[in-house]
Amino acid sequence: MKQKLVLLLALSLLVPLHVSGNPGGVGNSLENMQCGGACHGDANQNATSNLQLGLQPSGTVWAGQPTEITVQISGFDTSHDIDQIGIFLLSSTNANNDIPTTDGWSILSDGMGGSNNYIEYASVDSNVLTHSWILRADEVGEKILYVSVHHGDNSGTDAGSPFFGVSQAFEINVEAIPENLQRIDPEYQPPASREVGESTTLCLKTIAASDVVIEWREPSGESYQVETTQNNGCWNAVLPPALSVSTIEWRAILDGEGPQQTTPWFSLASVEPTWEADETALLLQSIAHLVLFFGLVLLVRKPKRIDDEFKDYMEESL
Amino acid sequence: MIEPATFHVITTELVVGSFALAGLCFVLHSLISIQNKESQFVTMMDSTAHIALLFGLLALPFAIASGINSSPSGAHTSPLLANKMLLSTAGGGLALGVLFTRWRMGNDDASRHLHNAFGSISTGCMLLTASLGGTYTRADSLTEFLPFVKESTLLLPAWMSIFVILIILAALIVRQTSTIKHG
């Protein structure tokens, strides 16, 4: 019996398990390049990604104004078998404090309904992947941005390894916005997400703008214009509700003394209503579970009576 | 200052390790005692199971507290986190009951296997809780075949939880007084 048991335990230790990193990803979030010391950032474990990483701002980057930063990742050809990929937008490669928000950027939109520097794609369908962030620089000057990727690859000599890639440094020249040029208020924070079935009332604060038109487009690309009304220093416009989980984009067209200004496309994701329970009820139920299962163990046991204890004592004495 | 998420990892490792050892010993205790009640392994497994369970139980409140603190929005915002909380308290209740009965009622031959079964179920609750943690942080775990624990949870209204607590407490008091009276 003992030998069989030892043999069984020894064999169970030899059973190979399917081991992989974070196959489901870690979700979009604010992450440093090493992603909490995960395997992809560990030089002892990772393999170098040969994807080509590019970054491009769309037009002039004004201080205090939203700007679109487009990241392009190419090289997803047939020699790769990549399903999920995580993309970082970074301000340095120090592996800590390298989120752009630590270098004077605000992330207004990550294009996926959040304000994160790390986003994940569950699959890549074409040879080139293009993704845009909307950032806002707080001051004039030179800034540096990097793109980094974490992914797996089920083909090639390093198949199964955690792949890691980081781009060259891309210099971004942040310029001062001309005086009296119509613009969005530097403090304006666009909404990034809402619930399905909810309309969104925008309250866009501007400087030196005489008229504002809001334009929004469906995921299919069809675009619509919405008139605005000025109220308490806000340009109000209502974006219609989405009927299903989807992401629409909107932008503002500003008229004023200077040439017409158009903001980048801001993403607005519609998500399913979030699940929420009554916190007090959950806490009480947890206590109830503790008491219920504690009591259950006690109640199903036959109580040890005093005469039993006396009998035990007598037996021990004899 | 150590972050709650890091502290949670440390404490859950303690809880899971201790409970896993306890669960294994409870099962072995039953298996060995079926074969040979007089075996020295019976006593060894019994002692190891209860000491490991006690150690795991001591670490459990820290794991639960740090788990709640490390969730930015709270356990009530995700069915998976709510299930984690309910499972861990159920496992904790079972473990507490097992230790208490062993301490106050001794080692009773008649209910030995039932006692071990409760200890093993307690371990099962803890391992499932830990597995749900893996699902939450890594979107992958060994319990992916149980989708309902990620998507739904059985929540009672507050009054019903209070009712359950009162019923159990009343039952325990009645049982205690009844034992004394008849003894």
What is the average per-residue pLDDT within A212-220? 92
ipTM of the complex: 0.90
Lowest mean pLDDT among A10-24, A116-130, B43-57: A10-24
Highest mean pLDDT pick, A116-120, B70-74, B119-123:
B119-123
Domains and CATH numbers, chain A: 9-175 (2.60.40.680), 183-271 (2.60.40.10)
What is the average per-residue pLDDT within A233-261? 91
Q: Do A303 and B175 touch (CB under 8 A)?
A: yes
Q: Dihedral through CA B67, CA B73, CA B77, CA B80, nearest 10?
A: -30
What is the average per-residue pLDDT within B152-179? 89
Q: Which residues contact B72 (CB under 8 A, 6 or more apart)?
A: none
Higher pLDDT, A77 or B159: B159
What's the pLDDT score for residue B94?
95
Lookup: tokens for A63: 């201080």
Search chain A and give the residue with CA nearest B86.
Answer: A286
The band of A67, judged by pLDDT with boundaries at 50, 70 and 90, is very high
Residue A181: C-alpha distances to residues A202, A256, A261, B32 (Å)? 22, 7, 8, 85
Chain A contacts in chain B segment 75-114 (CB below 8 A): 75-79, 82, 85-86, 89-94, 96-98, 100-101, 105-106, 108, 110-111, 114
Question: Coil, helix or strand for B39?
Answer: coil
Higher pLDDT, A22 or B4: B4
Lookup: tokens for A225: 């214009």
Highest mean pLDDT pick, A13-22, A195-204, B32-41:
A195-204
The band of B180, judged by pLDDT with boundaries at 50, 70 and 90, is low
Average pLDDT over all residues of chain A: 84
> Which chain A residues are within 8 Å of B93, Cβ to Cβ?
289-297
What is the average per-residue pLDDT within A199-211? 92
Q: Do A282 and B92 touch (CB under 8 A)?
A: no
Chain B contacts in chain A segment 156-195 (CB below 8 A): none
Lookup: tokens for A67: 């700007």
Q: Which residues contact B4 (CB under 8 A, 6 or more apart)?
A: B66, B69, B70
Q: Do A278 and B96 touch (CB under 8 A)?
A: no
